[in-house]
Structure formats: C-alpha cells, structure tokens
Amino acid sequence: MNLQASKSDHGLTLRLPEEFVRRHGLQDGAMLQAEIGKDGSLTLKPAGWDRAAFAAELDAARASLPPSRASLESLRGAA
C-alpha cells in the first residue's frame, strides 16, 4: 500500500487509503500507534485502549452533566 505525504503546519501528513480507514473503523481524530523498525520501516496500527484516559473522560463528562431528577430526589430523601 502506498501512502501520499503532504506538507502540513508541523511536518508531513500521511493520507490513509479509504479501505484502510473503513477496515479499521477509523474516524477523524483517531489515534494510531506508529512504530519505526530497525530497517526504517513504519508500522501503523490503531492505538490501544487506555483505561486511565477513558476513566478521566468519563469523570469530566459526569462533572459537566446537570443533576438529574433521580439524584435530586435521592439527596432530598437523605436529608
């Protein structure tokens, strides 16, 4: 598979073929892990799941939600 490199603000951008994107379920902003071999080869694969990052994302989302009716009733019952 050949990839086209294009100049960007901070270096070069590699364009991934649509088939690769579809096969791996990638979307704009997806994280990929890149490995450079001793022979200079470049290997790309979808980045692994980061449990700590996911937990932090959930905590941030939870903090931004308004209190629900059920949680308010629970607080009132405890008072």
> What pLDDT tens digit does each residue of the chain (79 aa) get?
888 899 999 899 989 889 988 988 888 988 888 999 999 999 988 787 778 888 888 888 888 877 777 777 777 876 5
Task: Look at the pTM and tell me if it is higher than 0.85.
Answer: no
Kindly provide the residue ranges of all beta strands, DSSP E only, lying in the chain, ordered along the sequence.
4-8, 11-15, 32-36, 42-46
The boundaries of the domain holding residue 68 are 4-78
CA angle 49, 60, 79 (to 5 degrees): 130
Count of structural domains within the chain: 1
Residue 6 has a pLDDT of: 94
CA distance 59 to 77: 25
Residue 79 has a pLDDT of: 58
